[in-house]
Structure 1
């Protein structure tokens, strides 16, 4: 046998061995589905609370002295899904942005109405450039959830809102400028998150993703002192009418106790904020706040609830 023929036979044998391995590998790597969107241009737009009523996005968090981290979660309201914020206790071994994102990816929300599609990553690191750009570098295992396109876009915005909130509340960013987030996966750009959203482009908060109504205090499960209980929150409709209801909770039974209407602030410095003071005795309670539909067609529009205990 001549050497040329033998060489061709050897090369064919090598190809025969390598090709099945390549096919096996391609079966293990997720193939991006049609309809991939970019992180900086989400395709989904959330409808307003009612026809003809404009909404705004949540303002950027202000600097605070508290060591609690602002963390955004995903929650359902009526037939839609929005972002909601909780303040969480965090360890101090990481920088404030990394701490907040680690809670978002590895812990559960306090409120059982909220959830997160993120998984606890093996690697997570963050940094800030002088141009108000936060870079998040996370390992690919953070995306090990099967979600649809809309939920994938919300999950990326959940990360953007949490990272920018943590940076602003810790005084690490200039709140007078737009803050953007770049997400790297294992140090690389162009990763397709959840098989749906291409990462790598500087991404800002997307208006309309945040909850139209959201109770800030008390947080879920909070214990408050007997007497005057202060309830606060915000609406994305400055000057909009809100309906509130307080229920007494006894085990699985909830009994209507008090209710009324309030108006969200219209002033620029307090846009959309609302406050409610109630004199309550000991017991378990649930407060519900919702926007009032000007057309009167929807009851409990964009409702948010919080359970708390008075001692």
Structure 2
């Protein structure tokens, strides 16, 4: 059994630490130690979702999920990962290049279970399974049939439920973006293990129940473009993303990265996420950047503590 250790994000100022050493820091509230006896672990169904957000950590966090992905011509697969923001854990999406031998849902899930995120602040507890197959019924239900080795990670109840939602979000995103399901209706996912229902995933979540996207699972703020580590042309660089709170006031910063680790403030400003129904929560800005390495940071503004970076997301990129 493998214990998965999410990278921690520094809650002081909302920044996300990038040191490789933090890969081995275990949040005690999220991961069960292998030495703790749990003869009867808490059991929930796949349709249950974690409710871990409390107090000030919920400021600006809506109870709805992000809009379902729309059909796109690109063959890149939408894949969701798990990452920390302040005191909470959320889902973040990347678009990944994947082989085209399998259907869009299967290859997106295979990427989620076998690859590493581009962003080192994200992680996945899933393991590469020996068997993985998917199908879609006329009732907008995606069925995922996977072998039990996909669950070979030691998780607590809260993280196990987030891992199931990671699969649900990835499967529904792939189905919607490829046009295989009707994005105007609710999409549900049924997870089978070797063709059977009633499997206890990660020793906590009972599978087999049709499961929709859980509310409040996606990050309140995430940067869509540029993706982590990409190169963009110099001059006017477009930065875009989404807030799950339409009309939210957001703060952005561009840091110049020198010597691989040192970061110096370069540009900053505020932007408002769209409140229009067709563009709900989307934001974008253009900045003029010379060649070099940069990091962009976007966060919500806490009205009570304006200097606090709340629900921050970051991306490192290169201007060529």
- TM-score normalized with structure 1 length: 0.87
**Which of residues 8, 24, 41 in structure 1 aligns to 2:48?**
41
TM superposition shift of 1:32: 7.1
Summarize the Cα distance change of 1:127–1:298 in structure 2 as closer, same or farther, 3 Å threshold: farther
Three-state SS of the structure 2 residue aligned to 1:40 is: coil
Decide which structure has greater helix share: 1
Matching of residue 235 in structure 1 with residue 237 in structure 2: no
Contact 1:46/1:208, CA 8 A, preserved across alignment:
no
TM superposition shift of 1:46: 3.6
Summarize the Cα distance change of 1:132–1:45 in structure 2 as closer, same or farther, 3 Å threshold: farther
Distance in 1, Cα, partners of 2:61 & 2:117: 30
Counterpart residue number, 2:162: 154
Matching of residue 97 in structure 1 with residue 105 in structure 2: yes
Unaligned runs of 5+ in 2: 1-36
- The number of residue pairs the alignment matches comes to 282
Counterpart residue number, 1:143: 151
Q: How does 1:72-221 map to 2 (within 5 A)?
A: 72-221=80-229
Distance in 2, Cα, partners of 1:277 & 1:298: 23
RMSD: 1.7
Three-state SS of the structure 2 residue aligned to 1:146 is: coil
CA displacement, residues 125-145 of structure 1 (integer Å, 9 cap, x when unaligned)? 000000000000000000000
Distance in 2, Cα, partners of 1:187 & 1:198: 14
**Which of residues 292, 298, 307 in structure 2 aligns to 1:283?**
292
Matching of residue 306 in structure 1 with residue 315 in structure 2: yes
Distance in 2, Cα, partners of 1:256 & 1:217: 20
- TM-score normalized with structure 2 length: 0.85
Summarize the Cα distance change of 1:52–1:259 in structure 2 as closer, same or farther, 3 Å threshold: closer
Distance in 2, Cα, partners of 1:299 & 1:214: 17
Unaligned runs of 5+ in 1: 1-29
Counterpart residue number, 1:65: 73
CA displacement, residues 211-250 of structure 1 (integer Å, 9 cap, x when unaligned)? 0000000000010001110000000111010011000001
TM superposition shift of 1:42: 2.1
